[in-house]
């Protein structure tokens, strides 16, 4: 490995769009760890998360043409690819039947906040768990579980308007906490 080589984001994206294997290798070496942390936030089983990681990199490789740097950083785009793939995995039938899902659901409704022991509480999810319970629950459902605001409104029996405003507040607070 050429540890000395360092690409800027623009160069990297350019080379990826040229289908350069070396650029893709560089991308993997530099971003796979951070993306895996994003995936583990949603798919807590490490082995399964590694499978999702592979799938995510295939998607990144095949969809790089659709990445537009005027709409945000490369990492933000890849993070969203990773989040969507993870939520799809969690929602797939196979996963529903497995035990991991039970654990996730338990975590979700555990309002005591004493869930720090779980290995998936790293990175963003760890930050989210520093928020007040009423905010934490909303981000858990909307971001990590991928429910729509409508679904959350029904699930928690809170008016849709309240879900909207509370989620917005939760996100603003998240920005405050994440900066520290």
Partner 1 sequence: MNIEAYISSGVIESYVLGMADAQEIAELEQLRLQYPAIQQAIDEFEESLEKTAFAAAVSPAPSVKNKLFFELENEFALPVKEKDKPSFAHNTPIVDIQSRINKTEEETIIETNFSTEQTKAVVKPLRYLKAVSVAAILLLIASASLNVYFYSKNNALDEQVTALLNDKNTLIASNKSMQVKYTDIYANLMVVSDTNVQKVVLKPVVGKEGSLATVYWNTFTKDVYVVADKLPKAPKGKQYQLWALVNGKPVDAGMIDGCNGVCKLKNTIQAQTFAITLEKTGGSESPDLTQLYVLGNVKSS
Smallest gap from Cβ 44 to partner 1, in A, equals: 12
Should residue 162 be labelled a site residue for partner 1 when binding is judged by CB under 8 A? no
**Only segment of 99-107, 110-118, 123-131, 150-158 that touches partner 1 (CB under 8 A):** 123-131
Should residue 115 be labelled a site residue for partner 1 when binding is judged by CB under 8 A? no
Smallest gap from Cβ 132 to partner 1, in A, equals: 15
Should residue 67 be labelled a site residue for partner 1 when binding is judged by CB under 8 A? no
Query: How many helices, marked H, and strands, marked E, lie in the chain?
Result: 10, 0
Smallest gap from Cβ 15 to partner 1, in A, equals: 8
Q: Report how many residues bind partner 1 under the rule CB under 8 A.
A: 61
Smallest gap from Cβ 37 to partner 1, in A, equals: 4
């Amino acid at each position: 490995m050429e540890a000395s080589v360092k690409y800027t984001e623009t160069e990297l994206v350019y080379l990826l769009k040229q289908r350069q294997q070396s650029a893709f290798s560089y991308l993997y070496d530099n971003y796979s760890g951070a993306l895996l942390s994003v995936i583990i936030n949603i798919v807590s089983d490490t082995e399964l998360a590694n499978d999702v990681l592979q799938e995510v990199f295939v998607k990144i490789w095949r969809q790089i043409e659709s990445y537009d740097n005027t709409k945000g950083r490369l990492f933000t785009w890849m993070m969203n690819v990773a989040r969507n793939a993870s939520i799809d995995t969690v929602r797939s039938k196979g996963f529903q039947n497995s035990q991991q899902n039970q654990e996730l659901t338990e975590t979700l409704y555990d309002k005591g906040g004493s869930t720090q022991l779980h290995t998936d509480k790293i990175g963003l999810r760890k930050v989210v768990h520093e928020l007040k319970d009423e905010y934490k629950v909303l981000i858990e459902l909307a971001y990590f579980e991928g429910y729509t605001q409508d679904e959350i409104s029904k699930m928690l029996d809170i008016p849709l308007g309240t879900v909207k405003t509370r989620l917005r507040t939760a996100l603003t607070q998240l920005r405050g906490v994440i900066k520290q």
